[in-house]
Amino acid sequence: MESEKNWYVIHTYSGYEKKVKDNLERKVRSMGLENVIERILVPEEDEIDVKDGRKRTVRRKIYPGYVFVEMEVNDRSWYVVTLKGLIDMFGRETSVEVDYSQIEKSLE
């Protein structure tokens, strides 16, 4: 019987989101938890930046300091998402789910 996967929010240091995402993905692979921790996202969007009169497109994080994880909560997955470098996982004792429609909007 497969448990339901939900979205959860991890709070990390601003500027370290990509590093946390990469570390989580590496740990998921090494522990063989790809079927438990489905997706790890750092939502970004393109933004036009004007500097010295020149326009350029840059990628900006929509939620600086946060990483979103779609996973099934169990002892092994909880261990993975509470790695060094994280400030907190919302709900620490009782995990807090995130409404997928909120995440979906940020990915559009």
Q: Where in the chain does DSSP place strands (E)?
A: 6-12, 37-41, 44-51, 54-61, 66-71, 86-89, 97-98
Question: Using one digit for the tens of pLDDT, what is the confidence trace for 49-58?
Answer: 898 999 999 9
Q: In sequence order, what are the residues at sequence separation of 6 or more whose Cβ sits closer than 8 angstroms to the Cβ of residue 102?
A: none
Question: Using one digit for the tens of pLDDT, what is the confidence trace for 56-100?
Answer: 999 988 888 888 888 888 888 888 887 665 655 654 444 455 666
Cβ atoms of 24 and 67 within 8 Å: the answer is: yes
Question: Using one digit for the tens of pLDDT, what is the confidence trace for 33-50?
Answer: 999 999 999 988 889 989
Cα separations in angstroms, 15 against 3, 19, 67:
33, 8, 11
Q: In sequence order, what are the residues at sequence separation of 6 or more whose Cβ sits closer than 8 angstroms to the Cβ of residue 2?
A: 72
Per-residue pLDDT at 90: 56
